[in-house]
Amino acid sequence: EVHLVESGGGLVKPGGSLRLSCAASGFSLSNYTMNWVRQAPGKGLEWVSSISSRGTYIYYADSVKGRFTISRDNAKNSLYLQMDSLRAEDTAVYYCAREVGYCSGGNCYSMYYFDFWGQGTLVTVLS
Amino acid sequence: QLVVTQSPSASASLGASVKLTCTLSSGHSNYAIAWHQQQSEKGPRYLMKVNRNGSHTRGDGIPDRFSGSSSGAERYLTISTLQSEDEADYYCQSWGTAIRVFGGGTKLTVL
């Protein structure tokens, strides 16, 4: 059974840093593109960042570009989000999400939409 | 620029059917989308992918009361025989190579 468990959230001051982790189980992380998605209190879902199965392709939303860094350790079946220069507007529940994909001929390909989500970790940026 | 638009709210009676709409922006009418459900205080759950021709692929364990369809730039989620646990927020998601996009979500109330 696929499980995604986020951790690392908490209270941080504006300008501070935080590192989120997502532990994957029930599947091999190395075969899938992974994402971070956030949800501000009372608001909708906002895509944050994406990283391909081997980490070759990385993309960010404009709202976090230059401040957040996505990474992965396939050997540890873990996904990370390093968040620097945090702002009040970064306050949100952060979810990790797996993309549908398949592997063929030694390469893995993404279908770009999400099929499994974690339960989220809350990040609060407050002075 | 890829944008997906949803109505903020919808309501229907217990046991009835409801059809939620997701509209793709101009120039993107042939894109597929995915529907996700988010019940109160929970993480989202994948429901299905809906292609431009209306074919759809449900996620594991999603009952066939949930179905998808398409017309032009609109993608639909129809929920039949509404149950109380269907009361939730529903998000559509689309994508490009370097971007993933969510609609604003539709809050479904089951009366």
Task: Find the mean pLDDT for residues B80-85.
Answer: 97
| Residue A108 pLDDT exceeds 90 | no
Report CA torsion sign: B65, B102, B34, B74. Answer: positive
The model's confidence at residue B24, banded by pLDDT at 50, 70 and 90, is very high
Q: Two tokens at A55?
A: 């980490």
Task: Name every residue whose Cβ is closer than 8 Å to that of residue B70 and which is 6 or more positions away in sequence.
Answer: B50, B51, B52, B53, B54, B76
Task: Name every residue whose Cβ is closer than 8 Å to that of residue A3 and which is 6 or more positions away in sequence.
Answer: A23, A24, A25, A26, A118
The predicted pLDDT at position B97 comes to 86
Average pLDDT value for chain A: 96
The predicted pLDDT at position B23 comes to 98
The predicted pLDDT at position A19 comes to 98
| Residue B38 pLDDT exceeds 90 | yes
| Residue A39 pLDDT exceeds 90 | yes
Strand, helix or coil for residue B51? coil
Q: Two tokens at A76?
A: 């540890």
The predicted pLDDT at position B63 comes to 96
The predicted pLDDT at position A106 comes to 86
CA distance B19 to B105: 14
Taking only the tens place, the pLDDT of each residue in B41-72 is: 999 999 999 999 999 999 999 999 999 999 99
| Residue A102 pLDDT exceeds 90 | no
Taking only the tens place, the pLDDT of each residue in A42-79 is: 999 999 999 999 999 999 999 999 999 999 999 999 99
Cβ separation of A113 and B34 shorter than 8 Å?
Answer: yes
Cβ separation of B46 and A117 shorter than 8 Å?
Answer: yes
Say if A59 is an interface residue toward chain B (CB within 8 Å): yes
Which one-letter amino acid corresponds to residue B2? L
Q: Two tokens at A4?
A: 């995604």
| Residue A13 pLDDT exceeds 90 | yes
Q: Which of A44, A59, A113 sits opposite B99 (nearest CB)?
A: A59
CA distance B44 to B77: 16
Q: Which of A47, A113, A117 sits opposite B49 (nearest CB)?
A: A113
The model's confidence at residue B77, banded by pLDDT at 50, 70 and 90, is very high
Region of residue A75 (left: phi > 0; alpha: psi -120 to 50; beta: else): alpha
Cβ separation of A44 and B105 shorter than 8 Å?
Answer: yes
Strands A78-83 and B4-6: unpaired
Q: Two tokens at A95?
A: 């979810």
Average pLDDT value for chain B: 97
| Residue A100 pLDDT exceeds 90 | yes
For A36, A49, A68, the CA distances from A61, given in Å and listed in that order, are 10, 6, 10
Contact B81, B12 (CB under 8 A): no
Contacts of A115 in chain B (CB under 8 A): 46, 59
CA distance B68 to B91: 13
